[in-house]
Amino acid sequence: MFCPKCGSILIPKKVDSKKVMACSSCGYSSKDVKNATITEDVYKQESKIEVAKKGAEILPKIDAECQNCKHDRAYYWTVQTRAADEAETKFLRCEKCGHTWRDYD
């Protein structure tokens, strides 16, 4: 039910052992409400999370030499580690040995 004065939703309230519908915005209150039933339905939506197989890399690759094993390909991603007006930091991870390092270009 909506308030006839301001259009807000009326909220059930007890006033002097009477059930009334009251507006929290403008203060409107309906007369005694008899045989009113207030119900609340809660729907719980279950979400399923799809998990990728462990070790499956979804990062892009770049030609970069690993300092650890000298392999020539690495995964990379960028993160804003400093102030917003400064360049991002590029992180690289060797696709062979998993060694991770930063590139401050």
Q: 105, exposed or middle or buried, with CB in 10 Å at 0-12, 13-18, 19+?
A: exposed
In this structure, whether the domain defined by 61-103 belongs to CATH 2.20.25.10 is answered with yes
Helical H segments across the chain, by residue range: none
Domain ranges within the chain, ordered by starting residue: 1-35, 61-103
Catalytic residues: 85-86
Structure tokens belonging to residue 102:
């930063």
Structure tokens belonging to residue 22:
């009251």
* pLDDT per residue of the chain (105 residues) written in tens, 0 to 9: 788 888 888 888 877 777 888 888 888 887 766 666 667 778 787 877 777 655 556 788 999 999 999 999 999 988 888 888 888 888 999 988 989 998 876
